């Protein structure tokens, strides 16, 4: 009887948290106990007033420790001034143990412009290992079968190897002779430091004039992608696959100054709202985006003699 009640509870397990301005996040799974590799249907619902701008997070390959097998498009409905966004995922886990589906983080702005986060509760999921039938005896591994090779096959393989070696040597000889005639000197370009590369990419983005052409979402997406990729190269964590909150948590480990962390959080959060909601920034806000990105990079770049030398070399290569 207890196992039946537990099964019914887990099948109907739904977690929900409500936040200011009636932004509600609901997450559920169809089963909290599955075998390794079994598909889990994970559903998310976000309800909020139509006047509240929100940022609906996106995922590429994983949701926390779970791999995404499939994800549907967002289904949007609106009734009596309230909007509901629904999205379904199929996720799986290939390790046995007890895990949690991480909270679904939805960011939104209140009437004063302050950023808040609405989170669903983490959902516990048990991943069962494959049971082994211990009643069966262990069988020895069968020996490999030996297949005799004929003289014709040996001659064919040898001819192929000799021909391949001859072609390779011919190509090598041709390239060397061409280098001698042209006096070619191969110059190894220095690796461009992450902050220099990011600044170059921001200049290229500015030259595209995306937001001036009406492509505002694409402009904000590229700007934040450049900054997130810079964080990956600079600090060594997968910023492109993390939510804004997860990025800030990682950056805190590197003991950045609080004002820098605050600037980064505000920059990424504002961009999320533009990319995933109906929030339309004004022209003056668009003009400040690249300046904010450059300031973030300048404030977090490494400061030492070797980095300065690399920066000079990289700028020379780029020019």
Strands 33-35 and 123-128: parallel
Is there a contact between 58 and 276 (Cβ–Cβ < 8 Å)? yes
Residue with tokens 């006096």: 183
Token representation of residue 125:
């999921």
Supply the Cα-derived Rg of the chain in whole angstroms.
28
Q: What is the pTM of this model?
A: 0.40
CB of 49 within 8 A of CB of 82? yes
256 dihedral zone (left: phi>0; alpha: psi -120 to 50; beta): beta
pLDDT digits 0-9 by tens, 70-87: 999 999 999 999 999 999
User: What integer pLDDT is reported at residue 316 of this predicted model?
Assistant: 44
Q: Which domains does the chain have, with CATH numbers?
A: 2-128 (2.60.40), 194-318 (no CATH)
Q: Above 50 in pLDDT, residue 216?
A: yes
Supply the DSSP string of 185-245, one letter for each residue.
---PPPPPPHHHHHHHHHHHHHHHTTGGGT-HHHHHHHHHHHHHHHHHHHH-S-GGGS-HH
Residue pair 241/62 in contact (Cβ under 8 Å)? The answer is yes
Show Cβ contacts of residue 238 under 8 Å, excluding neighbours closer than 6 positions.
232
Which tens digit of pLDDT belongs to each residue from 222-248? 999 999 999 999 999 999 999 999 999
pLDDT-based confidence at residue 256 (cuts at 50, 70, 90): confident
> What is the rounded average pLDDT of the residues 6-29?
60
Mean of pLDDT over the chain:
82
């Amino acid at each position: 009887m207890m196992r039946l009640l537990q099964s019914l509870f887990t099948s109907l397990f739904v977690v929900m948290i409500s936040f200011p301005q009636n932004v509600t996040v609901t997450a559920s799974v169809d089963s909290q106990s599955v075998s390794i590799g079994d598909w889990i249907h994970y559903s998310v619902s976000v309800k909020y007033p139509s006047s509240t701008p929100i940022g609906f997070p996106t995922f590429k390959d994983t949701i926390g420790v779970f791999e995404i097998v499939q994800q549907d498009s967002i289904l949007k409905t609106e009734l009596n001034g309230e909007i509901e966004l629904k999205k379904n995922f199929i996720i799986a886990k290939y390790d046995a143990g007890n895990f949690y589906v991480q909270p679904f983080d939805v960011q939104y702005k209140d009437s004063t412009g302050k950023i808040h986060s609405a989170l669903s509760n983490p959902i516990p999921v048990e991943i069962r290992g494959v049971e082994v039938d211990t009643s069966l005896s262990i069988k020895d591994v069968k020996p490999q079968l030996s297949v005799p090779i004929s003289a014709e096959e040996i001659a064919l393989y040898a001819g192929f190897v000799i021909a391949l070696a001859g072609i390779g040597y011919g190509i090598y000889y041709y390239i060397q002779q061409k280098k001698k005639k042209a006096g070619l000197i191969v110059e190894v370009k220095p690796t461009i430091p992450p902050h220099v590369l990011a600044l170059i990419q921001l200049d290229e983005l500015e030259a595209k004039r995306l937001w001036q052409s009406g492509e505002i979402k694409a402009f904000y997406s590229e700007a934040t992608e450049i900054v997130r990729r810079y964080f990956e190269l600079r600090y060594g964590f997968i910023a492109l696959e993390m939510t804004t909150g997860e990025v800030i948590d990682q950056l805190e480990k590197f003991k950045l100054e609080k004002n820098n962390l605050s600037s980064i959080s505000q920059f990424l959060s504002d961009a999320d709202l533009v990319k995933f909601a109906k929030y339309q920034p004004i022209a003056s806000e668009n003009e400040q985006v690249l300046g904010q990105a450059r300031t973030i990079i300048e404030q977090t770049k490494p400061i030492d003699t070797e980095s300065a030398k690399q920066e000079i070399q990289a700028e020379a290569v780029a020019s």
